Structure 1
Amino acid sequence: MKVLRYLLFCTLALTALNAFSQSSAELKKRRDKLNQELEQLNDEYQETLKNKKTNLKQLNLLKAQISVREDKINTLNSEVRLLGNQINENTNTVHTLQGQLDQLKKEYAAMIVFAYHNQSAYSKLMFVFAAKDFNQAYKRLKYLQQFGAYRERQAASIQGTQHELNHKITQLDRTKNEQANLLKDQEKEKEKLGKEKNDQVVVISTLSKQQGELKQQLKAAQRQKAQIERQIQVAIRREVEEARRRAEAEARAAAARLAAERAKAAAAGNAAPVAPKAAPAKSTNSELLNATPEAAKLSNDFLGNKGRLPWPVANGIITQEFGMTYIEGIKTDNPGIDIRTGSGAAVRTVFSGEVTSVNNISGTYLVVVRHGEYFTAYANLRSVSVSKGEKVGIKQSVGTVATDAATGETQVHFELYKGQTAVNPKLWLAPQ
């Protein structure tokens, strides 16, 4: 039973260790990725500082750095908590192993004392020959043999437990050192975060003094996004009207068939066929866009992947969130999200669908893809690799992202619509 308990204990400890290793590896991978993003953002920010004049790009980069830094601190917190749990588990394991070792040594000492009192071959022979009959003598002989084997097993068990104990103590010390290093890293990150927030206050203060110029920059960006949104709405309305025309044409064809059948029945003197149940006079946009089984299935599949859609770029950081934002009282409305990425990066579809629109807007391209009643839009493209009416698959490239010559920013603007209503794309994308 003791051996079984020991084996069960080792199995549980190994299972917990594997789960810890997996979670720890995932967190470390996440931390390494965040470190790379912070390094890239810092390089870009330092480059903007060469320009003596404060600009909006500096503020956007600081905001992105602060967001990523906070994410890293949260990741470090998770790692510290995980290591704390592992330290507690290892401490309990050390105490358990120490108790087992003490018990094994106590039992082994008792066996040694017993063996000392019965160490002569004469005593063992007398113990066997003192049996009442042959059967009892045989059992006593087997007992002596089993007792010797048990002593050997106990000695091996003591050595194994001692080895496991030493290993756990070493592992415990290593985990404590790792936790201490993470706590130091966490403090450094908090200091950097505080400095970046102070820098952000300074940049905002400087930009507020240049409010006229800042407003011009923001208005230019808003005009660009307004153009994009208008083109998207035009593309969606066109799809809705096309679906409405198809529905009306099908209704007219059905009415014509019914009229022909009635005329034929009247000429033959038969009763007129019963008219089918009329469809509603007005259908919603959702009903029109999901009128065909294929479109309805695509809509359901798209909805079923909410929170798991791939990003429109392989690597990116959100620099401006969805919805209303305020900079020193200046309101900006973003109907999508802006994602900073590498120069010349491929922009790809987040789901399979059909290209409904390709437009040139002020020198950059906009691509709109329909997924049943859902639409995704990819703007600020330097070039496009698809055309209107083309069927596209998930993660298929639609073009390459453009870089702003004036600011040096490389970012794709991504929007998502359900019918004609813009929704927050971030809620639909898979966590990075």
Structure 2
Amino acid sequence: MKLHKLVFILFLSVFALSASAQTANELKRKKEAIQREIEQLQKNLTKTTSGKKLTLQQINVINAQIRLRQDKIGTINSEIKNLDNQISQNTNTVHTLQGQLGDLKKEYAGMIRFAQRNRNSYDKMMFIFAAKDFNQAYKRIKYLQQFSQYRKKQAGYIENTQQDLNGKIRVLDRTLKEKSDLLKEQERERERLGKDKSQQSAVLNNLSKQERTFKQDIASKKKQQAQIDRAIRAAIQRAIDEARRKAAEEARIAAAKRAAEEKAAAEKARLENKPAPSVTKAPVVKEKTTSEVLTATPESARLSAGFESNRGRLPWPVATGSITETFGRHMVDQAPYTNDGVDITTSSGATVRAVFAGRVLAVQYIQGRGVVIIIHGEYITVYQNLRNVSVSTGSTVDTKQAIGIVANTGDDAILKFQIRRGQATLNPEAWISK
């Protein structure tokens, strides 16, 4: 029973540690990915701060770097908690093994004392011949054989348990060292976060010195973006109106066909001197919603369902990059503005790719920069600020297919990316892979 208990405890320990190892690997990969983003942003920031002019992108990069640094510290905290669980489990296992080892040694010591009392052949023979009959003598012989075998097994159990104990102690020591290293890394990241926040304060203090130039920069960008947003909404609305027109035309053709069939049936009844068939009242056709219009065909319905089922798992529109401006409302120098998508800072000359299969709804060039709009049923993705475009209106694209090259905005390559459901804007961070 003790052996079974020991095996069961070891099984649970191995299972728990296997799950912890999987979690630890996931946290490590996440931390490494965050660090790569921080390093890329730092390169961009070093490049942009070499100029004297303060830009909105410079502020966004610093804010994104602070946000990523906080995420990394949070990930390290999760790693430490995970190691604490492992340490607790390993400590419990060590105590259990030590207890089991003590019990096994006590049992083995008792067997050794018994063996000492019956150590010579004469004692064993006397023990056998002292039996009252042959059957009892046979059982005593079997007992002595089994006792010898059991003693050897107990010695093996003690040796194996000692090895397991030594192994668990080594794992425990290694885990404690990993925790110590993580605590040091956490402290370094906190220091770097403090420096990032100091840099943020310095940049914001310099803002007042370049206030006029900075405001002009923001006003210009707002004006450009407003023009692009209007063009995007207009292109989407044209697609919705066209789909609605087709739906209305199909309904009109169906109604005309039904009326012609009823007229032919009435004429046939008149020629055959039969009562005219009753005329069915045309059903009241309700105006379809935008969602119904955009998913009217089986293909568009399939694309829409596929897009929706991949929420949180869509690939990024660029292979590497960091979100330096998030979705929604922002305040810059007391002036509010809304970002209908996210700004992704990536490497110069990065390839832009479709996040899902679909059809190119429109390709436009506004102020020398390309905008690609792709429709996926009722969902629409927008890729803005392209240096050149490699697809055309009406063409079909596959997931991760290249559609163009991102353009540089100042010193940085920035892709503005949107996801819409009809005309409604959605937060891309909820849709693309983490």
- TM-score, normalized by length of structure 1? 0.95
Q: 1:271 and 1:215, CA in 2 relative to 1: closer, same or farther beyond 3 A?
A: farther
SS for the counterpart of 2:412 is coil
**CA-CA distance at 1:276 after TM superposition:** 6.1
**CA-CA distance at 1:279 after TM superposition:** 4.4
Query: Which residue does 1:348 correspond to in 2?
Result: 353
Q: Is the 8 A contact 1:316 1:339 kept in 2?
A: yes
CA RMSD, Structure 1 to Structure 2 (Å): 1.7
Query: Which residue does 2:241 correspond to in 1?
Result: 241
Query: Which residue does 1:99 correspond to in 2?
Result: 99
List gaps (5 residues or longer) in structure 1. none
Among residues 378, 394, 402, which one is paired with 1:389 in the alignment?
394
Question: Within 5 A, what are the aligned runs for 1:28-47?
Answer: 28-47=28-47
Distance across 2 between alignment mates of 1:167 and 1:262? 88
List gaps (5 residues or longer) in structure 2. none
* Larger CA deviation: 299-308 vs 193-202: 299-308
Query: Which residue does 1:337 correspond to in 2?
Result: 342
Distance across 2 between alignment mates of 1:250 and 1:382? 40
Distance across 2 between alignment mates of 1:175 and 1:261? 82
**CA-CA distance at 1:272 after TM superposition:** 4.4
**CA-CA distance at 1:236 after TM superposition:** 1.2
Distance across 1 between alignment mates of 2:240 and 2:373? 14
Q: Is the 8 A contact 1:347 1:397 kept in 2?
A: yes
| Equivalent residue letter for 1:97 | L
SS for the counterpart of 2:226 is helix
Q: Is the 8 A contact 1:261 1:273 kept in 2?
A: no
Q: For each residue in 1:275-313, what CA deviation from the matched residue of structure 2 results, as whole angstroms up to 9, or x when unmatched?
A: 364242532222221222322232222222222222111
Q: Is the 8 A contact 1:101 1:161 kept in 2?
A: yes
SS for the counterpart of 1:310 is coil
| Equivalent residue letter for 1:232 | I
| Equivalent residue letter for 2:371 | L
SS for the counterpart of 1:410 is strand
Query: Which residue does 1:421 correspond to in 2?
Result: 424
Structure 2 residue 55 is matched with structure 1 residue 55: yes
**CA-CA distance at 1:334 after TM superposition:** 0.6
SS for the counterpart of 2:408 is coil
Structure 2 residue 403 is matched with structure 1 residue 398: yes
**CA-CA distance at 1:107 after TM superposition:** 0.9
Query: Which residue does 1:150 correspond to in 2?
Result: 150
- TM-score, normalized by length of structure 2? 0.95
Alignment length, in residue pairs?
429
Question: Within 5 A, what are the aligned runs for 1:101-140?
Answer: 101-140=101-140
Distance across 2 between alignment mates of 1:246 and 1:166? 76
Q: For each residue in 1:299-334, what CA deviation from the matched residue of structure 2 results, as whole angstroms up to 9, or x when unmatched?
A: 222222222222111212100011111123122211
Query: Which residue does 1:408 correspond to in 2?
Result: 411
Distance across 1 between alignment mates of 2:423 and 2:77? 41
| Equivalent residue letter for 2:34 | L
| Equivalent residue letter for 2:86 | Q
Q: Is the 8 A contact 1:365 1:382 kept in 2?
A: yes
Distance across 1 between alignment mates of 2:152 and 2:267? 109
Q: 1:49 and 1:245, CA in 2 relative to 1: closer, same or farther beyond 3 A?
A: closer
Distance across 2 between alignment mates of 1:366 and 1:258? 44
Distance across 1 between alignment mates of 2:191 and 2:391? 47
Query: Which residue does 1:187 correspond to in 2?
Result: 187
**CA-CA distance at 1:252 after TM superposition:** 2.0
